[in-house]
Structures are given as structure tokens and as C-alpha cells.
Structure 1
Amino acid sequence: MSAPLLTLDSLRSRFARQPESLIDVMDDIAARFAAFGSLSAPATLNAAARDLLARCPDPSILPLWGIPYVVGANVDVAGLPTSAGLPALDFEPDFDAVVIERLRTAGALLVGKVPVDPLGLDASADGAVATVAAGLAVFGIASDRTGAACAAAAEDGVVAIKPSPGRVDLDGLFAIAPELDEIVILATDIAGGTAVRRVVERIDPTIQRRTATFARLGLLGKGFFAVAREMAKRLDLATVVVDDALFVEVAALMADDAWLVLRLDDIAVPLVEMPELFPPYLHRRLSRALGCPSGDLLRVQRRLSDLRRRVEAAFAGFDLLFVPPESNLIGFLNACGLAAIALPDGGMLVAAQGGDDRLADAAAILADPSLSRSTRPIDILVSPPLAHR
């Protein structure tokens, strides 16, 4: 069962014509949750809509006025439990995460929090992806360490935008590996997801932003070039074949459980004293990490540092990288500090750190045939209850 997708542009147009329709939208979302067997609270959603109308009756004042969204349970929202997927570690924060503060200031309305994988190890964005894909929110905010969010989004026809590290403040995110975890924006379309990114990202003059025009598209993997070359024609870019061995090595390194050592201080006591609270597979992984020699973490950190330098050097040979969905190669994204957009029809575009805006422009061209720069346009092949605060 599915409901019509909610898009940022369609709701903006509706609210501009009739701001009071926000109440109807919130009631409709509550009904959608009920139809999906959820226990959402229509009265609470209705009250949130009425409160926004009273505080700011003009939708044009705020960029995300009335736009409904969900957030992963491991992101702090004052008044709601923060959960890493293990009840023993749940707590109720006193303050919102920075990303939530920015969304609230922009007028977005939080529909609720969605469950995450235990400690965010594997598929913590799945709940947010499913919610957006089911037409229950315009966008979702989730955490991601391995790049799995981009893969999950593509499978459900949802756009995933992974900003460059540093562009979105992570304060208030319960991160399993603080130096690797990032915020990912999940949306029904590229334009909507990009608009959300521009709201939540911080303005920091020290963050490098790449504005040069893209000229070369790197093609990653073997045997998947047909679609990628058509994309290059659409974007009017030259193509460069890229050996995937380096990226495969980074992805394999990211699967090393030595990274769990970064969070063991938070979970060592309940792991030892209350092992029954942990799923057996997770208990085994964490126990191994607990006994991991300190040198193992240093080893993977040093190796990753070396691989990052090699990936940065590789990007000197191209401006954009296309990762075909068939390659199933995603684990290098966060590790190498890259920006990425998972296309709703499959595949992923990747740019070097700071190339977020140009990356969004390229993705928009691929998503909208009318924006094609090429003279040869082509078709690209392409839960549990929520609680509003």
C-alpha cells in the first residue's frame, strides 16, 4: 500500500494559495499513518499546524513553512527520547540537535522520529527512507556511516543527499563513529532535498566550496558504462574510466569492527552487566571490539588516512564520479569526505568535498529532461509509531 508522494514544491504552492490548508495536510498525514497501522496522534499534528499558523500566518516568510518531516531516533529532539536502537542507552535530551533547530526555525513541522538500527551499525536510515517513500513526509533526516542510506534510498525511489563533511553540524547526533558518521537528507525529489540541505547547512567561511564547472565524468566499475555514458552526454561531459580497486579497498576497511572501539566507553558497562539487552549478533560484534587491541583501531585509522589521500589524488582526474547501482559500492563515501546524491532511478553521483552545489545542479539535469544541456537528450534507466513532540 502506498500514498501519493508529498513534494516540497507542491506543498509550497498549496500553502501560498491557502495557508489554512496546512491543517488539512496535517490531518491527511495523520490519516495516512492510521491507514498504515501506525498510532500517530491527529490531535497533536493538528495542534502543531494551528500553532504555526498563529505564529507565522505568511508562508512566504519561512523557507520550509509547514513542510512535514521525520528524523531518525538517534537525533536529539527535546521532549522525545533519543535512541541508538538499544533501550538500555535511551535518554531524553534537554536540547534539540542543531539540525533540528535549523529546521524548526525554517518552519518545518516534525511528524515524528523513526527507529534506527542498533547503534546505527547497518541500516539506520531505512525507517526514514520507508516513511518518505510511503508518502508520509516530504523529507527525512537520518544518520549514516557506511553509505547504506544511499543504497536504501535508491531501492525505494527516494533521493538521498549526503553533504560534504562539515556542512551540516552534527551536534546532537548520537554517532557510533563520530569521525565517520554524517547526516543524510532523504527526499522525494532532488530539488526538495537540495532546498533542505541549504537550510540545514551552516555558513562557515572556512569550508571550501568548489564552484568550477564540471568537465569530466568518472565511470566507476566494469561493465556498467552504457547508462553512465548516456548520462555524460546529457551533462555534456567527457568520460574517464576509473579503476574501482581503490574504492573497494576503502569500503572493505570501513567494514572493520575496530571502528566500534570509538563508542565502547558508552556501552561497555551495559554490555557486560546486561548482555540480554543486546541482540546476539550485536553482542558478539561488540564483545570482539571490546577485546580489540588498541593498536587495531590505530591501524585502520592510519590505513584510512593513506587511502583518503589516494582518493583525493584520483579525483584530480575527473570532476564527478558515477557509481552504478549494480556495483553495490558505497562504503567509501563518508570515509573519504565526499559529497554524494543517490538518484531516485538508481546510481549515485559523487563529487569531491565542497562540490555540493555543482553536484546538485548535475543531479537536477539528470532528473529533469527539460534541463538537459546535451543536444541528445535520453531517458535514464533507471513502522513503528511516530510521535510528534
Structure 2
Amino acid sequence: MSSAVERVRAAYARIAQVDRPEVWIGLRPQADTEADAAEVDAKAASGARPPLAGTVFAVKGNIDVAGLPTTAGCPSYAYGPTADAPAVARLKAAGAVVLGTTNLDQFATGLVGTRSPYGAVRNAHDPAYVSGGSSSGSAVAVALGIADFALGTDTAGSGRVPAAFNGIVGLKPTYGLVPTEGVVPACASLDCVTVFARTLPEAERALSFMTTPSGRALPPLAQRRPGPWRIAVPEDGQLGELDEGWAEAFATAAARFAEAGAALVRVDLTPFTEAAALLYEGAFVAERYTAVGGFVDDHAGTADLDPTVAAIITGARDIPAHRLHADRGRLAVLRTRAMASLGDADALLLPTTPGHPTLAEVAADPRGANARLGRFTNSTNLFDLAAVAVPAGEVDGRPFGVMLIGPAFTDDRLARVAALLATPPQRLAVVGAHLTGQPLNGQLLALGGRLLRTTTTAAAYRLYALDTVPPKPGLVRAAKGGAPIETEVWQLPAEGLGALLAGLPRPMTLGSVELADGTLVPGFLCEPEALDGAREITASGGWRAALATGWPAPRPADEADIRLGPGGTFRTRS
């Protein structure tokens, strides 16, 4: 593992190599960041290594970093914060070093990354295309390998659209989990501080140091039924016009989730898209005027105000209060319909955007191109939902991304579902209490397991009835006297298999089980010393057949034995 100073030097070398000055608004002098890194290294040398030691991060230019001006993408708005925003301070306390503040769509108003007097931020993969906004610089700093992670904000999708366009991960947490003090508001009732990283674990790790236990009352989330993750996808034809190749890329991503064991269910997307239109076409945009409208009015016509941003904000000045109340009522109806449509689904899967425009296309139609990008993202914060955006392949050599959206406070669940795209599923051979209909089968279902097929082992195994609660068999490979044993092959998410094995009790162990067709699959075996006094039931051909004979008599397991956690309880009777 490199030292913090070495990591800082590598970051500045990368900054020079990529030559993307438009990424930054306030890049710190290298000597200052090296001094911070040296303090981190000193703590590590003393035995008190901070958990994020050796990492560097960037901060969107509307979030306070002490010692750097907060501009929100507007030079004349700049002020000098005397303290870090809490989100920044917590990451620094954990050992991460700030490189600087990044460019953005001015006043966080936009999804394109071009609305800034500091220059349009070009896409990390194809400079002819937009980087996505408003958190453009932060996303590109990560995608180019400069920063390990970066902070953005998300009101209408600004923490997700740039992630999709640059092939990285964007986490938009539940509103309020990360404090927004020290953040220039766009719409204060909707704004969320977000995280970009190249991988999901890196993003989650950074987010874990920023969160605050919510003072909000947790909504009554329905208890999950045992079974695979349930992912909602829109009904046919509801995605609307997409860029060429994007419908196929989305279908491929949905199929990958299904192959990983998720159950796909169709939902009506209409309330989501109708609410998305309300964010800018309705009265909610008035909150942007509340945030910075006075400043924009006072500086009308000045060179450092982006004209598109200024027009959006000043256009909200005279919206009557009755329109806002009417839109709030309309939103409440749409949210009720949307949540009913989702039902008990764990997540809604959508393309992050309908397409990816070029810089020229945005310049030709700045408001129209931007509005199209928010079709799927705008409703998330209006509906008080959590979201994660993840890469899902490429179209024409450029990144394609999807997002998973779920109810407030299901952030961890969404990340677990999203991980299915990154990690191939694993197979598991079971011969006993995890078989379909047996007491511990619910563990496989709760971990996202899916039955692939029923077969037998090769004729090289012996089966024993162990003295346990609930009753379990022990499978061992034998040099002689073996026979085919009935086996189910299940598919589990890799993390599900890991969770199951983490609690696997002795004398059970994991090993390779040879199936009748000669393939080797991980499966449950038994340590030989546990077989003393156990009755051999190989001749039955399998555990269910042995139970059908009436011995050993199956006894109901207690709640601890069949809990939906990993491993089950192995208990020897006296």
C-alpha cells in the first residue's frame, strides 16, 4: 500500500498527464496537499493509521473546503469558507486528502457539465461528448484516475448522470443521511451530497464516513419475503425515445440481473416520468430562486453568469404560490401511484439517461438537450427515494449506465442489488437441509438463490445422517462404496454465497462436489471425524429419499435454526 504522500504525488502527476484544466476551479498547491499527507503518514507510523489513509478526493465547487473559495461555478459569487462542510471534514478526519474543488454547472443547475464560465468539462472517454452535470468535474476527476473518489451533489440527477457518462459509480443517498451544511443550495428541500468512485465498494466506503443517523422517522418498510431480489422494470414502450443501441444495452443489463438470480417484474413508469416533468416545468423550480435568485438579479448581464442558468433562475421569480401548492398536491398523488406501482420490488431499474449528447448538440439546444437527460432522474428526490448509478457496458465505445432506485433508507439494499452487475453469480451444490422444501432452504432464497437443476453427484460419495437440529446429512467423498446422491444445484450472488459460508458451522465445510456429468461445483461436505456413530444412508440415494423412509424422523427446527442469516445453527444433541 502506498503512503499518503506517494498517492498525492501520483495524483498531481496524473493531473499533468491528462491536461484537463477545466476539471478544476480550486486545485490546491501540491506542497499543501503533501503536507496534509505527511501528517496522515505520521499517524499511520505511530500505529494509529486512519481508515482512509492513502486516498485523495475532489470536492464539487458548491461544497465548502476551508482555504479554497466556494464559487458554485460563478466567480463573482465566491466566498471564503472558514470551515469545511461536515461531509468534507469527516472524510479528512478519516485520513483522506483533499486535492481541490471541481467545476460544475453553475449553481448546480444543469445535467450537462457545460454551463460554467470555467469552461465546459469534456467527457473522460470521448472529449467530443458532454461529461454530464452538474457534478461534472468531480466525476471526470475520478474517471481519469486522478482522485480515488469525489463529492458531488444531486437535486435532479447530478450525482448519477455524470457517473453514467464517465463509466463510474454514483451513490445518491437518502435525503438527510449526509449533512448539507456548507453546501450552496440548489433546492434545499431536495439536495443530497453524493459520492463518485470507480467501484461500488470504494463509493460505499467513502459514504460510510459521511453519514449521520437520521433524525427522520423511518418509513414502515415492508418485511422482505424470502426469495431472490425483485427488480422492477418499465412496461414495454414506456422508456420513450432512446439513443441508438441504448434499448438493447438496457435489455442486456436487465438480463444480467435475471441471470444473477433476480426476479424481474413489470411496473408502470408513468407516475415517475410525470413527476420528473414537474421539477423544472412546474413550480418547484421556485426554490432555486430562493437559493440564489437575489444574487442573480443583482448581477444580471454580468459576464460570469451563464445565460441559460440565469434564465432558469430568474424565470422562477414570479411563480405564484398557488401553483406551488397545486404542484405539491399533484406530486403527492403521483408519489402514491409510484409507490403502489413498485409494490414489494426491492428496486426500480432504469437507464440513467435516455442518451448521451455531444458538446455541439448541447450548444445547439442547451435547454432541450438538458431536459431530456432528466427524464429518469428528476423524480427521485421529489419522491424521497435513494439511488445508485452503476456502469452497465458500452454503446459505440462510450459508457452506458443504469441506476437502481428504491425507497428511502434502502441504500444498503440498493448497493447489494447493484453488486449483481459487478460480480458473477456462483453455483452451490446442496444435498440436505438446504434442498427445496427442507428447513434451511429459506436461507438460499433470502440470499437471492435460484434453483438451476436437480441432478446427482458422481458415483463416488457416501451419505450419513448426522445427529443435529434440524436433521442434516453429511456428504463425504469415498475411495470405495460410493453411489450417486441426489443433488440440487443453486445459483447465488457471489456475496450471498460469501454470507452463507461466513457462518458455516463445523463439521460442515465447503469443497468441490463432482456431479454426474463430471463438472465440479462448490458444495457442502462433512469433516470425516463427525461421522463417528452416524448412520450411513448412502443406499437411499439422497436425503429426501431417506426422510421418506421415516428415519431419521424430521423434527421442526426452532427459530434460531432457520433464521434467514448465513449458515444455520449446527447443534449436537446430548
Please give the alpha-carbon distance, in whole angstroms, between the structure 2 residues aligned to 1:218 and 1:369: 20
Cα 1:303–1:371 change in 2 (3 A) is farther
Higher relative contact order (CA 8 A, sep 6+): 1
Given that 1:83 and 1:89 are in contact with CA atoms closer than 8 Å, whether structure 2 keeps it comes out as: yes
Verify: 1:352 aligned to 2:387, yes or no: no
CA-to-aligned-CA distance 1:2-34 (integer Å, 9 cap, x gap): xxxxxxxxxxxx14xxxxx32222111111112
Cα 1:42–1:196 change in 2 (3 A) is same
Of the three residues 244, 255, 259, the one matched with 2:280 is 255
Given that 1:341 and 1:360 are in contact with CA atoms closer than 8 Å, whether structure 2 keeps it comes out as: yes
**Aligned AA (1:258):** A
Cα 1:293–1:187 change in 2 (3 A) is same
CA-to-aligned-CA distance 1:137-191 (integer Å, 9 cap, x gap): 0111111111143122112111011111121111111111001111111110001
Verify: 1:182 aligned to 2:192, yes or no: yes
Q: SS state of the match for residue 43, structure 1?
A: helix
Please give the alpha-carbon distance, in whole angstroms, between the structure 1 residues aligned to 2:92 and 2:107: 26
Cα 1:87–1:205 change in 2 (3 A) is closer
Q: Which residue of 2 aligns with 1:341?
A: 388
Q: SS state of the match for residue 149, structure 1?
A: coil
Aligned Cα root-mean-square deviation (Å): 2.7
Moved more, 29-38 or 184-193: 29-38
Given that 1:142 and 1:185 are in contact with CA atoms closer than 8 Å, whether structure 2 keeps it comes out as: yes
Given that 2:87 and 2:178 are in contact with CA atoms closer than 8 Å, whether structure 1 keeps it comes out as: yes
Q: SS state of the match for residue 308, structure 1?
A: helix
How far 1:233 sits from its partner (Å)? 2.4
Please give the alpha-carbon distance, in whole angstroms, between the structure 2 residues aligned to 1:148 and 1:265: 20
Q: Which residue of 2 aligns with 1:272?
A: 297
How far 1:273 sits from its partner (Å)? 3.4
Q: Which residue of 2 aligns with 1:222?
A: 236
Q: Which residue of 2 aligns with 1:85?
A: 73
Verify: 1:245 aligned to 2:277, yes or no: no
How far 1:108 sits from its partner (Å)? 1.0
Cα 1:313–1:184 change in 2 (3 A) is same
Given that 1:219 and 1:228 are in contact with CA atoms closer than 8 Å, whether structure 2 keeps it comes out as: no
Cα 1:236–1:205 change in 2 (3 A) is farther
Of the three residues 406, 416, 430, the one matched with 1:361 is 416
Of the three residues 35, 39, 45, the one matched with 1:51 is 39
Q: How does 1:88-167 map to 2 (within 5 A)?
A: 88-122=76-110, 123-167=133-177
Q: Which residue of 2 aligns with 1:29?
A: 11
Q: So what's the TM-score if we normalise by structure 2?
A: 0.58
Unaligned runs of 5+ in 1: 1-13, 16-20, 379-389
**Which of 1 and 2 has greater Rg?**
2
Moved more, 209-218 or 358-367: 209-218
How many residues get paired? 360
Please give the alpha-carbon distance, in whole angstroms, between the structure 2 residues aligned to 1:367 and 1:298: 43
* Larger relative helix fraction: 1
Q: Which residue of 1 aligns with 2:52?
A: 64
Q: Which residue of 2 aligns with 1:381?
A: none
How far 1:59 sits from its partner (Å)? 7.6
**Aligned AA (1:111):** L
**Aligned AA (2:78):** D
Unaligned runs of 5+ in 2: 22-26, 111-132, 238-246, 355-374, 393-400, 428-448, 451-489, 494-574
Q: Which residue of 2 aligns with 1:386?
A: none
How far 1:266 sits from its partner (Å)? 5.0
Please give the alpha-carbon distance, in whole angstroms, between the structure 1 residues aligned to 2:426 and 2:301: 55
* Larger relative strand fraction: 2
CA-to-aligned-CA distance 1:298-356 (integer Å, 9 cap, x gap): 33233223322322232324222111356452211111111111112221112211111
CA-to-aligned-CA distance 1:63-92 (integer Å, 9 cap, x gap): 212311101011112221112222232211
Cα 1:127–1:365 change in 2 (3 A) is same
**Aligned AA (1:323):** L
Please give the alpha-carbon distance, in whole angstroms, between the structure 1 residues aligned to 2:315 and 2:215: 42
Please give the alpha-carbon distance, in whole angstroms, between the structure 2 residues aligned to 1:326 and 1:124: 14
Please give the alpha-carbon distance, in whole angstroms, between the structure 1 residues aligned to 2:188 and 2:146: 30
Given that 1:117 and 1:124 are in contact with CA atoms closer than 8 Å, whether structure 2 keeps it comes out as: yes
Q: So what's the TM-score if we normalise by structure 1?
A: 0.84
